[in-house]
Chains A and B, each alone.
Chain A
């Protein structure tokens, strides 16, 4: 089983629609993960029944017992997350800011701090026509997105092994931070989707640098390629500078948002269909070719 993660640096370059098209091209059974847990959209393209949602608890939240609290405010001074507020002569925990570190409990002379588990989101598995999709919804503002992504990927790996799936496709989050680290760790290939704009190019460079640090093989797909004819050369150069192959170019078509809005994927759009198919064929060639060099992989737990 090969794990392919589709990521981008900049948001809105077409990660989700490309992942969905890849799933269709890969054929049954494929296992899908939506790792963009705070803006998860892959399920919108794949209607199907969800298993009952499972709670994702991660970390803990501080609680202050007002009966014991003497308002000495040592916790307020010690908290580095601005998670405590004095409201109407009571110390209140701002749940959205609390990281559950426990420093408030260490400094409290009255033993007034206790903890409760934090609900950081929920996740489930959907049965789609191409195979199971593991997806989640992070609680608003929650800070454990990396751990949630790791949970989703672990579940997906188990499903892929059970089903004998050849492909595990991960729709990654934008950016280069913690959830991205959790999404790419141990994958076989990073497909970086970009577009010919200075913003996308700038963020692509940072993503490819991250891939290099994680010793993760990377390749690039240029989406909306004809928005700027000069962009292709720039993207090719940026990819080459980091040793990433350009898998293909997908033309821009203003009809794409309408097709997505109607629940149809990229593969119904003439011109786009052929380009996406070429990109997927290039992924298959790359990963199914006899391994010329064993890539050193970073399998560290997140």
Chain B
């Protein structure tokens, strides 16, 4: 992964490197706090995979390997910024304060949403590839009209970069100078489709053709992801328009729990990326530069274990929704067919109850 255009502030070995455009501004305390975020989010992911294997979730989309990109980007947000995720932005949801059990409501199939998106300023997961990117640009156009000091951060992957909606988003954001940052996590694969099939040029270079800057950042370098995202959001808030970030990373796990990555990729490649783990390199930095003691890491691990236990309990406590709830909020205003359905089901349920 030697690439002169790749923004990196920390090597896989945890050694700092200088970059002409970006300097790390995080304190040791902040880095440790974000290390904790990554550990907890990875634990959330492992627990969720287990829950799916035990039949407690319908599906899970793992995040392993992408914690650095997401915690880096997520902690770069200002409170009033708004985020538009895919279904894999568990780290962003964590940074936005979405209760973790709410994040799992969708995957337990007890809800098609899961949280109040206005409260957390984090949109609901979008499963149709690329739809949310246009929605994000529209939201950014609203910010412009309100004259607000806010920006939008929206996510998609290398797979969705081929979607018309994403490319239309680039056109619109550029034409209207919308305060939006496009954060593409290039984790190298659609489900099985390699990113080389999505694009013959590095993805970040597409931005230039649409009239705004693009930058490729080491997606496993949390420090670099933080600084690059922070600068892009500040630029957007200041009226500088859109930009694109390609976080170059690797999906260590499967696409989802329904996938079998051994069919389309070789172990040797996975091994190479294991050495670039985003959590380990921050740990090395903390030990080397801040003399963080083993006890501090142990405490975080213990916290993550307790977190996972509580998450499991919370998930198992999520029962089957009331079937009649399907009729709530189908429309904002009264609708005769919805009311007819509600009546019919109420009668059927009453018959069963008798």
Decide if A and B are genuine partners: no
Interface set of B (CB-CB < 8 Å, partner A): none
Residues of A within 8 A of B (CB): none
